[in-house]
Structure 1
């Protein structure tokens, strides 16, 4: 069982990566219905005290995407806050919904900006990420198990 998480978790954004971005103009048809798909992943590095959030979005006609973007943000958590989230056996951390939602919200906003910058002055610029209520997406704490060898 992890310790109680502090009310405010100190952290800093330390990295942004565009993991994937693609447009497929030949597959795009402005007269067809557009479907929107979203996905999220989380990870943690116990050695650097980083939490990573990956967001992925696709705009598609049926199963055929014509616009896809995947962005990751990497957040460094201050050591005292990290220790509060760390399990007793130090093999996992548990993030409360408020903190996790905050990181996801920052990553979604970052992705929204990258999407705009990459599609500016193209026909795809009309496709914006919608407002996403992260409080509805994240209602439970998330435990992230550490994998692999750790440096001491």
Structure 2
């Protein structure tokens, strides 16, 4: 198992875009991306959630969680001049980021009509198709 720590959580965007909603048939679009920083063996996972109802955008939440991989474990990810972050590790980062987003959503919607909106279970293995290869 690759050792890591989450060392940063950044709320990139949060907005409630309307004050009128039925909260019945909300749909959610999800985006997950990764960024890599060579110095410090760091990976950032960006997640964005757009909530809408009948073609009207209601709310948006975007966060960025930063992870630092243990130096010794990071060395094992380097091969032939490339750094390969395994799909399974990226999925683990995404799961942590989405869980963090759930907590942020709960706190940010407290005392609003959107407090019952949740980020449902997400199959991250469908969102992440392959290893991340850095030349």
Question: TM-score, normalized by length of structure 2?
Answer: 0.89
Determine if the alignment matches structure 1 residue 126 to structure 2 residue 116.
Answer: yes
Q: Where in structure 1 do 4 or more consecutive aligned residues deviate above 4 Å?
A: none
Between 46-55 and 28-37, the greater mean CA deviation after superposition: 28-37
Q: Against the structure 1 CA distance between its residues 83 and 59, is the aligned structure 2 distance closer, same or farther, given a 3 Å change threshold?
A: same
In structure 2, the gaps of 5 or more residues are: none
Note the 1:89-108 alignment, pairs <5 A.
89=81, 92-108=82-98
- Larger fraction in strand: 2
Other-structure match for 1:60: 52
Other-structure match for 1:12: 5
Q: Deviations over 1:72-126 (max 9, x none)?
A: 100011112212223433xx52211211111100000000000000001210111
Q: Contact between 1:95 and 1:141, CA under 8 Å: does it hold in 2? A: yes
How far apart are the structure 2 equivalents of 1:144 and 1:118? 35
In structure 1, the gaps of 5 or more residues are: 1-7, 146-152
Q: Contact between 1:49 and 1:76, CA under 8 Å: does it hold in 2? A: yes
Report the RMSD for the aligned CA atoms in angstroms: 1.8
How far apart are the structure 1 equivalents of 2:23 and 2:43? 41
Determine if the alignment matches structure 1 residue 81 to structure 2 residue 73.
Answer: yes
Determine if the alignment matches structure 1 residue 21 to structure 2 residue 17.
Answer: no
Between 63-72 and 31-40, the greater mean CA deviation after superposition: 31-40
Partner secondary structure for residue 74 of structure 1: strand
1:31 Cα deviation after fit: 7.1
Q: Against the structure 1 CA distance between its residues 56 and 144, is the aligned structure 2 distance closer, same or farther, given a 3 Å change threshold?
A: farther
Q: Contact between 2:23 and 2:117, CA under 8 Å: does it hold in 1? A: no
Whose radius of gyration is greater, 1 or 2? 1
